[in-house]
Amino acid sequence: MSDKPSIEPYQRHALMCCGKSCGENMPLLKNLKAKVAAAGLDKGEHAVRVNRAGCLGVCKQGPIMVVHPEGVWYYDLDEQKLDRIVEEHFKHGNPIKDLAFHGTN
């Protein structure tokens, strides 16, 4: 039996929809990964893991991204909104209510 796989620990997991209805989000996803790395959040105890997802089931006003463990769902994403999410949510732990449609109570 082989050893179990391992992964670096992370605090948040951001999943960006790359399904057909959300359009071509790979450039936006790659830029989010770069923004997370530039903010020093790609490793360490406050790391944010960024991954693409297939359809997240919200086929309206994409691109869509969900951030766990908070369960905050962001919509209509662009570069400027991602800058705010990295700074306010990922760095300081404050989900952005005006950019989210679910999970900010």
Tens of pLDDT, residue by residue, the chain (105 residues): 679 998 889 999 999 998 777 767 889 999 999 999 999 999 998 999 999 998 888 888 889 999 999 999 999 999 999 999 999 999 999 999 999 999 987
Strand ranges inside 1-105, DSSP E: 12-17, 48-53, 65-68, 72-74, 100-102
- Domain presence at residue 87: yes
User: Which range of residues forms the domain containing residue 44?
Assistant: 20-50+57-96
| Prediction pTM value | 0.92
Q: Does residue 103 sit within a domain?
A: no
Gap between the Cα atoms of 18 and 4, Å rounded:
29
What does R_g of the chain's alpha carbons equal in angstroms? 14
Pairwise CA distance, residues 5 & 22, whole Å: 32
Query: What total number of domains does the chain contain?
Result: 1
